[in-house]
Amino acid sequence: MTKWGWFATVSAFLTSINFAPAQASGWKIDQAQELRRAVVAAPQDALPLLDLRPFDTALAAGPGAALDEAATALALQLARLHLLGTTPAARMAGWHIHDSDADHDLGAWLGQALTSADFGAALRALRPAHPDYAALRAAYATEPDAERKAIIARNMERWRWLPRTLGPDHVLVNIPFFEARLWRGGNTAGTWPVIVGKTATPTPIFTARITGVTFNPWWHIPASIVRRHKGRFPANQGYVFANGRWSQRPGPFNALGQMKLEMANPYSVLMHDTPNRALFEKERRDFSNGCVRTGDAIGFAASLLAPRMTRAQVDQAVATGQTETVALPQPVPVYVAYFTAQPVADGTIAVRPDLYRHDARVAAGRAAKPIVVASGCEAPAAG
């Protein structure tokens, strides 16, 4: 595809986004020149170079209605690229995280940007604010290997599918890296290994709010697992049938382990402990029916509950063996996402296998595969 053919494709996608038309007036030459520099720099963010020809014609003629119209159109196109990316919705079918940036009034943003003291800073602030994106962007600019560069670019694009800021406090679960990171005040407060869904029952990509921690939880067995096991569960492992359903008592065999997070979502996916902790020693950890089993789950829970509970208080709650739900001091958003490239502790960018073949489908230009999620967490024998 030629450069202008690619531009036409991207333009069609951008103009399909439902933003109210807006035209800012009174563009100054220095602001227009700043906008042009930002457009030329867009490929450093793995974005296409927008068509500058109408804008350059208007810029050459100087301030006036023609420049206002051309600069406004170009600025809004650039803003949409940075905030939402270039991927058509058909290729994002498995991505269930709403990008709140799509709700922004870009006309109002542009009006404020043009009256700000630093128009260039307003343009730069359109990029995803997360430190992971900044690290990927820096690596993209210097990566000599074409294949790794393409992988980094795809993951930079995924950051544009998320809200520009995830908030100072959040949990980010990265499926291909088998890890969960807790962020506090914009800094990493801890990293925990996780077990994710098998390729047959992949963990969905979604967001939820963690509102509390349940210690010594009961496991109410989903109907799909009951059918799979033909309603046969051993009583000596804590299984009971009451009120028309099978459940598992808290205890050493409980599939949810000693804690689960309260994080309501449409997929019935939990983050929880597991009695089968030896699996965390494996490098590849896709063993679950879709839920996210968390290593050092009690330590993770204590970090989320601080300062409401100390670690000693958390340990005491677990030791009672009684089911107890404790609310977090403030709800914390959790993003269960899919990045095959991310920065690691030594500052370099690591690349992991494309576990669910999402990268492969994007690279081939195919629509995303619908996610099939089991209606529950663990099979009883797995823990």
Q: What is the mean pLDDT of each run of 10 residues along the chain (383 residues)?
A: 39 43 80 97 97 97 96 97 93 91 93 94 96 97 96 97 96 98 96 97 97 97 88 93 94 95 95 96 95 97 97 97 97 98 95 94 65 54 41
312 and 210 inside one domain: yes
**Rounded alpha-carbon distances, angstroms, from residue 273 to 254, 280, 304, 317:** 9, 11, 14, 15
Q: Which of 71, 106, 128 is the last residue of a domain?
A: 128
84 and 171 inside one domain: no
Cα–Cα distance measured from residue 112 to residue 8, given in angstroms and rounded to the nearest whole number? 29
Task: Identify whether the C-beta of residue 158 lies closer than 8 Å to the C-beta of residue 120.
Answer: no
Residues of the chain by 3-state class (helix, strand, coil), percent to 5? 40, 20, 40
Cα–Cα distance measured from residue 277 to residue 194, given in angstroms and rounded to the nearest whole number? 10
Count up the domains in the chain and report the number. Answer: 2
Predicted local confidence at residue 92, as pLDDT: 87
Parallel, antiparallel or unpaired: strands 219-220 and 205-215: unpaired
pTM of the model: 0.89
Q: Specify the CATH number for the domain of residue 224.
A: 2.40.440.10
Give the residue among 169, 186, 210, 185 at the shortest CA–CA distance from 292: 210
183 and 330 inside one domain: yes
210 and 353 inside one domain: yes
Give the residue among 189, 247, 206 at the shortest CA–CA distance from 335: 206
Q: Which of 128, 147, 176 is the last residue of a domain?
A: 128
346 and 298 inside one domain: yes
* Residue 139 belongs to a domain: no
178 and 324 inside one domain: yes
Q: Which of 110, 128, 146 is the last residue of a domain?
A: 128
The set of residues, in sequence order, having a beta carbon less than 8 Å from that of 339 and lying 6+ positions away, is 132, 155, 158, 174, 176, 177
197 and 108 inside one domain: no
Which residue range(s) make up the domain with 10? Answer: 3-128
Predicted local confidence at residue 91, as pLDDT: 85
Task: Identify whether the C-beta of residue 290 lies closer than 8 Å to the C-beta of residue 202.
Answer: yes
Predicted local confidence at residue 333, as pLDDT: 98
* Residue 376 belongs to a domain: no
Task: Identify whether the C-beta of residue 7 lies closer than 8 Å to the C-beta of residue 52.
Answer: no
Predicted local confidence at residue 9, as pLDDT: 40
179 and 112 inside one domain: no
Give the residue among 82, 139, 71, 54 at the shortest CA–CA distance from 111: 71
* Residue 338 belongs to a domain: yes
123 and 185 inside one domain: no
Give the residue among 223, 269, 220, 224 at the shortest CA–CA distance from 242: 220
* Residue 20 belongs to a domain: yes
Predicted local confidence at residue 61, as pLDDT: 96
193 and 334 inside one domain: yes
354 and 225 inside one domain: yes
* Residue 273 belongs to a domain: yes
* Residue 133 belongs to a domain: no
95 and 171 inside one domain: no
* Residue 320 belongs to a domain: yes
* Residue 286 belongs to a domain: yes
Predicted local confidence at residue 382, as pLDDT: 41
